Amino acid sequence: MSLELVEPASQDIPADAAKWLLPTPRGALHGFSTPEPGPAQRAVQALLSAPQAMELARWRQEHDRNGRMLQQLQEKQWVQLLRRQVPAPDVRLGDFAQHVIAPLSGERRAVLASDSGFCLGHSGLDQELAETLSAAAADYSSFAARQARRGWAGAQRVAFHDDPDMLLPEWSFIPLWIDGTGYWLVLAGEPLLNNLAMVELVWSIRLAGARFAAPL
Query: Higher model confidence: residue 102 or residue 213?
Result: 102
pLDDT of 14 > 80? The answer is no
Query: Higher model confidence: residue 137 or residue 150?
Result: 137
Q: What is the 3-state secondary structure (H, E, C) of 60-71?
A: HHHHCCCCCHHH
User: What are the DSSP E strand ranges found in 124-180?
Assistant: 158-160, 171-178
Across 7-16, 38-47, 73-82, 130-139, least confident range: 7-16
Q: What is the pLDDT of residue 7?
A: 46
pLDDT of 211 > 50? The answer is no
Round to whole Å and give the CA distance between 116 and 96. Answer: 20
Query: Higher model confidence: residue 41 or residue 15?
Result: 41
Q: What is the pLDDT of residue 198?
A: 96
- Cα 16 to chain centroid, rounded: 27
Q: What is the mean pLDDT of the chain?
A: 87
pLDDT of 106 > 80? The answer is yes
pLDDT tens digit sequence for 47-92: 999 999 999 999 999 999 888 999 999 999 999 999 999 999 876 6
Domains, the chain? 8-82 (no CATH), 93-212 (3.30.450.30)
Q: What is the pLDDT of residue 214?
A: 42
Q: What is the gyration radius of the CA atoms in the chain, in angstroms?
A: 18
- Report helix, strand or coil for 189: coil
Q: What is the pLDDT of residue 5?
A: 54
Q: What is the pLDDT of residue 89?
A: 86
pLDDT tens digit sequence for 154-184: 788 899 999 888 889 999 999 999 999 999 9
Q: Residue 145, class by beta-carbon neighbours within 10 Å (0-12 exposed, 13-18 middle, 19+ buried)?
A: middle
- Report helix, strand or coil for 184: strand
Q: What is the pLDDT of residue 4?
A: 57
